[in-house]
């Protein structure tokens, strides 16, 4: 039986998830604050503000949906990626993805 070693792809996916999660939270927070301020009614009102609000809601929805999809895809891929592989598989994975 071949000796099993840590899967470099599993490690890389974990690193990617740990890197991306706080960035997505920052992006979501960046749109949430103006959204909340705008909806408190203290920023702007009138017909043009209503048009802007519709666009802001649409962008907020897209940002949040995209962030959730990125995190979900990384988590799903990480969950199905084996933690350990044979030494030969590890070498091939490193070559294929340019991992150290």
Give, for all 100 residues of the chain, the pLDDT tens digit.
679 999 999 999 999 999 999 999 999 999 998 898 888 877 788 888 889 889 999 999 999 999 999 999 999 999 999 999 999 999 999 999 999 8
Residues 6 and 63: their CA atoms lie apart, in Å, by 34
Query: Which residues make beta-bridge pairs with 85?
Result: 5
Q: Delimit the domains of the chain by residue range.
A: 4-97
Q: Are 81 and 7 in contact (CB under 8 A)?
A: yes
Measure CA of the first residue to CA of the last residue in the chain; give whole Å: 25
> From CA 77, how far away is CA 23, in angstroms rounded?
19
Prediction pTM value: 0.83
Please name the residues in contact with 43: beta carbons below 8 A apart, sequence gap of 6 or more: 37, 49
């Amino acid at each position: 039986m071949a000796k099993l070693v840590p899967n470099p792809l599993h490690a890389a996916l974990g690193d990617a998830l740990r890197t991306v999660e706080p960035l997505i939270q920052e992006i979501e927070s960046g749109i949430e604050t103006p959204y909340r301020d705008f909806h408190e009614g203290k920023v702007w009102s009138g017909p043009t503000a209503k048009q802007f609000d519709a666009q802001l809601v649409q962008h907020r929805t897209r940002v949040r949906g995209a962030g959730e999809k990125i995190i979900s895809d990384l988590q799903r891929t990480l969950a199905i990626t084996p933690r350990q592989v044979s030494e030969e598989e590890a070498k091939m994975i490193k070559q294929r993805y340019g991992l150290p």
